[in-house]
Amino acid sequence: MIRIAICEDEFKQRNMLKIILANEIKSIGIDSKINEFENGEKLLNSLKDDALKFDIIFLDIQMNKISGIDAAKKIRENNKSTIIIFVTGFMDYVFEGYNVRAFNYILKPLKKDKIIKVFREALDSLDMLKNQVYILNYKNETHKINFDDVIYFVSNRRIVKLVGKKAEHEFYAKLNDVEKELCDKGFVRCHQSYLINLSNIKSIEQGYAITTLGDKLPISRNRYKETLLAFAKQILK
């Protein structure tokens, strides 16, 4: 199921966008759910529920209290993969979106052709994101975990533990082999025993990586510069 959020304070604009998207979804024949929000506060409050995550968010930039840009910054603190599409009446705001990795913009007045074009491009990109999963096998069970849900891997001899946002999994492997598989997927070996997802590092402090779970992972001295550089590049993406 594709989960879509529309956050727009003007009812007519919000309803128009919803109708166009609903009709396009029907023509494509995909399973989806559209949630509407009249301001950024309600959108952010909904995201406190871990069960409610959106694949695509259409976000108005000019709203009362909290702007679309500020709402997007809050979203990016815990979610790097959600596709954010800004809706705005002013070109001046377009450049601000680079800081939150906006996927695209739709300028007002809304045009059906532009909405459909951007939406289809987002769906194409989403398919690529959903293919980014780590597959592990243990005790005759196979698990598929989205990269974004992986916080880090930690090894203890021949047992590797995957620590994720939702669960932990243990399996037989060498961390060196896991690293080779994920070295170009946004993971960095910060320690002989730890392989960490750069997207889920909250900060690096005095030789430690602080994850979004609050775990404090060691960074070995000979891997510190490499880890710090990789983290910096991740922030600037």
Q: Say whether both 209 and 125 belong to one domain.
A: no
- How high is the pLDDT of residue 176? 95
pLDDT at 96 over 80: no
Rounded Cα gap, residues 76 and 96, in angstroms:
14
Rounded Cα gap, residues 200 and 209, in angstroms:
10
For residue 231, the 8-state DSSP code is H
Q: Say whether both 125 and 141 belong to one domain.
A: no
- How high is the pLDDT of residue 161? 96
Q: Say whether both 121 and 13 belong to one domain.
A: yes
3-21 mean pLDDT = 96
pLDDT (tens digit per residue) in 183-202: 778 899 999 999 999 989 99
pLDDT at 133 over 90: no
Q: Say whether both 170 and 122 belong to one domain.
A: no
- How high is the pLDDT of residue 77? 86
Q: Say whether both 171 and 182 belong to one domain.
A: yes
Q: Say whether both 95 and 207 belong to one domain.
A: no
Q: Say whether both 139 and 122 belong to one domain.
A: no
- How high is the pLDDT of residue 147? 85
Residue ending a domain, choose from 130, 159, 194: 130
Domain that holds residue 54: 2-130
Spatial neighbors of 180 by CB under 8 A, at least 6 apart, are none
Structural domain total, the chain = 2
Average pLDDT value for the chain: 89
Distance of CA 67 to the CA centre of its chain: 20
